[in-house]
Amino acid sequence: MAREAIFGPNDSRTNESRESTAANKLGLLTPDEERVLRPQRMFEMVGQRDVYERIEVAIEASRKRGEPLGHVLFDGPPGLGKTTFALCIPRELGVSVQIGNGATLRAPKDLVPYLTNAEEGSVLFIDEIHRMHKSVEEFLYPAMEDFRIDLTLGEGVNARTLNIQLKPFTLIGATTRTGLISAPLRDRFQMREHLDFYTVDELSTIVRRSAGKLGAEIIDDAADEIASRSRSTPRLANNRLRWVRDYSDARADGRITLEVAQKALDMAGIDVIGLDAQDRKYLDTILRVFQGGPVGVEAVAHTMNVAPDTFIDEVEPFLLRSELIVRTPRGRILTGKGVRHLGYDPVQFPQCSQNHLF
Ligand code: ADP
C-alpha cells in the first residue's frame, strides 16, 4: 500500500525562482493544473529513457533486497523533470516523501527536523540542493553515509555532543548547477543522473497527453507546433499549451488547430524555435551593446536589469545547446547562427561569424 505524506518544515518551496522568465509566466499553470499534468508514476513519463531504465533497475534491486534506494542526484536545466522523477520514485517504492529546498537550509538546525522525521526507507527530496549552506552540507555527510547526525548542544565548557541514529532513508537532490555541488557531496550520491533536453516528438506526445488531461481537443499538427516552440522543455510545452488553449477558447471554437496554435504563439511573441522576447533581447544585447561579445553574463544581466541567475539557469542552456551563443573563458559570444536568428546578416558582424557555426 503506497503511503504518501508530502510535508516539510519551513518548506518555502515556490515556483518563483523557476518561473521567472516571461515565457514561463505565460500560460502559467495553476497548482491544480500542474498536479493534473505532472506524471504520477514513472511509466507515465515520456523520454529520458536511459535515466528511466537505470532508476527502474535501482528501484527493483532495492525492493528485492529490502534496502533503501541509494541516494540520487538529478541535474539539468529547469523544467526537464527532476522534480517529477523525485516524486515518482517514492510512489514506486511505496514510501513517504518529505520535500525541502536548499535555499531554506541555512544552518544545520534547519535540516534536523527533516532527518529525524524521516521514516525507514523514506525519501527526502531537496530541490536546488546547490543552494544549501556549506555548514548544512557538512552536517549532511554522516547522515548520508551512516544515517547518523552529531548535534552539539550548549556552548563552551557546557557543550556536549549528541549522536542521533537516523532511520535509513534515501536522499534525492536536484540541481540546475552541478558545477556548484562540491565533490564530497557529489561523491556521496550513489546515482548521478543528468536530464537532457527533449526531442520535438517527445514533447509532442507530452502536449497531446496534457491536452487530453485538460479536456482540450488538439490536432496533431498543432501539438507538433507547440512542441517545436517550447525550447525542448516539458514545462514550457505545458505552459504554451495552456496559453494556446486560452486563445482557442477566446478567439476560436475551442479546437486547437495548427492555425490557432500559430496565431496564439505569435501573439505571445514566441518565435519559431521557441524563444520569447526576453531570450531575443538577451541575444540582441550581446550583439548591439557588447558587439557580439565576449561578455560576462553579469554585464548582460545588469544591462537588462535581470538577475544573472535567471540567464544562467533558464535562458542560456537552450541558447548554448542551439549554438546561438558559445561560452568561452572570456565570456559569452554570439555565433553567426545567433546573428542570423536576430534577422541580421552575419557578414555585417565578422566578429560573430568568425566565432563559429552558422
Ligand atoms: P524540474 O524539477 O526539472 O524543474 P519538473 O519535474 O517540475 O521539472 O517538470 C515540469 C513539468 O513538466 C512537470 O510538472 C510535468 O508536467 C512536465 N514533465 C516533466 N518531465 C516530464 C516527462 N518526462 N514526461 C511528461 N511530463 C513531464
Q: How many angstroms does the Cα of residue 233 sit away from the middle of ligand 1?
A: 8
Contact 256, 245 (CB under 8 A): yes
Residue 233 alpha carbon, nearest atom of ligand 1:
12
Kindly state whether residues 30 and 177 are assigned to the same domain.
yes
Residue 210 alpha carbon, nearest atom of ligand 1:
16
C-beta of 39 in contact with ligand 1 (< 6 A): yes
C-beta of 46 in contact with ligand 1 (< 6 A): yes
Catalytic-role residue among 18, 38, 82, 337: 82
Kindly state whether residues 174 and 238 are assigned to the same domain.
no
Q: How many angstroms does the Cα of residue 118 sit away from the middle of ligand 1?
A: 25
Q: Show the cell assigned to 144.
A: 548520508
For 83-131, the pLDDT digits (tens) are 999 999 999 999 999 999 999 999 999 999 999 999 999 999 999 999 9
Domain that holds residue 170: 12-194
Percent of the chain at pLDDT > 90 equals 82
For 111-124, the pLDDT digits (tens) are 999 999 999 999 99
- Say how far apart CA 49 and CA 58 lie, in whole Å: 14
Strands 148-153 and 160-165, bridge-based pairing:
antiparallel
Alpha-carbon separation of residue 178 from 76, 77, 225, 298, 303 (angstroms): 8, 10, 32, 20, 27
For 17-48, the pLDDT digits (tens) are 444 445 455 667 888 888 999 999 999 999 99
Kindly state whether residues 32 and 148 are assigned to the same domain.
yes
- Residue 295 or 161, more confident: 295
Task: Report the CATH number at residue 312.
Answer: 1.10.10.10
Kindly state whether residues 43 and 185 are assigned to the same domain.
yes
What's the one-letter identity of residue 60?
E
- Whole-number pLDDT of residue 42: 95
Q: Taking the model in full, what pTM does it have?
A: 0.89
Task: Report the CATH number at residue 119.
Answer: 3.40.50.300
Q: How many domains are contained in the chain?
A: 3
Nearest CA to ligand 1 atom 21: 81
